[in-house]
Amino acid sequence: MTIYLGILLALICAFTTNLAFLYKHRGACAAPTVHVRHPVRSAVGLFSSRWFAVGMGVAVCAWVFHVAALAVAPMSVVQVVLAGGVVMLAVMAERIFGFKVGPRQWLGLGFTALGLVLLGITLPAVHNPQSQFSLPGMIAFEAGLVAVGGLLVMGKRIGAPDHHHGVMLAAAAGLLFGVSDVALKALTGLVADDGVLALLTTPWTGVAIAASVAAFYASAKALQEGEAVPVIAFTGTAANVSGIAGGIIVFGDPLPGDALGIVVQAIAFLLVIIAAALTPAPVRAAQPAAA
């Protein structure tokens, strides 16, 4: 029954995560511009915005549900359930927060959800939390995500169009959240084996914290520079894809054992790529309320 508990916790996490992002977008748009060279001043400016502070409070609740889900279910299963949250995102953004979600965005979000769900259901069933990992594989995977995230953050400096900077930062934030999620998954296994003191003796605690802080600033900057729905969708998709990959590569979640499963997974990744091309189209949002 623990895997079903993990799915339930992941569903709650998906809802609260999207709610948190929408609140944070409203607050970030009303806050002073984030400057990486002035991290403390930027953080103070963000938290001085009432809606951003509310969003961070909701995000902490979502994080608790996420950690709980990772502790009782395989990482790939948890991330696939979270992937379904992109559909919740569109409904919440349009009906509750007043954002205009166009046909292209609905199609893109639908492709994202379908692709990630197909990716998930083709993974063979796993009935334990799968927290054991290979240290070399963990280091290589985390370093790879950090490297790609760094390139995305530097996108504007290396010639990427300015109007794509928001979604590039969003994707970087998602990858950094993925780095943190993989480290957190490892920590759940270490704590289960060695107790809470393991958090003080393993470097993965520092990795999880550092990646979360970097993702915080990248996400806040993305929310200021881009439209809410594309930015949040890119952040979530990058985090979910990296989490599913981490479950397979780092923690040994099994791959499909037949040709049909592999073909379906290839189609799933193609759908996510198509969605990435569709989702960033212009989206007009309701004017954010004053902080």
Q: CA nearest 179: which of 150, 199, 202?
A: 150
pTM of the model: 0.77
pLDDT tens, position by position, 244-291: 788 888 888 776 667 777 788 778 777 766 766 666 544 444 444 444
Q: What is the DSSP letter of 125?
A: P
| CA distances (Å), origin 90, targets 17, 23, 62, 103, 217 | 13, 14, 18, 11, 24
For the purposes of burial, counting CB atoms within 10 Å of the CB of 8, is it exposed (0-12), middle (13-18) or buried (19 or more)?
A: middle
DSSP codes, 126-137: --S------HHH
The alpha-helical segments, DSSP class H, found in 73-201 are 75-83, 85-95, 103-121, 135-153, 165-194, 198-201
Task: Kindly indicate the confidence band of residue 236, based on its pLDDT and cuts at 50, 70 and 90.
Answer: confident
Q: How far is CA 176 from CA 146, 198, 215, 235, 270, in A?
A: 7, 23, 5, 9, 23
Cα–Cα dist 253/77, whole Å: 9
pLDDT tens per residue, range 88-137: 777 788 778 877 777 777 777 778 777 767 766 676 655 555 678 888 88
- Residue-wise pLDDT for 128-169, tens only, equals 556 788 888 899 999 999 999 999 988 777 766 666 778 899
Angle, CA 152 vertex, CA 148 and CA 156 arms, to 5° = 150
**Can you read off the two tokens belonging to residue 196?**
């809470």
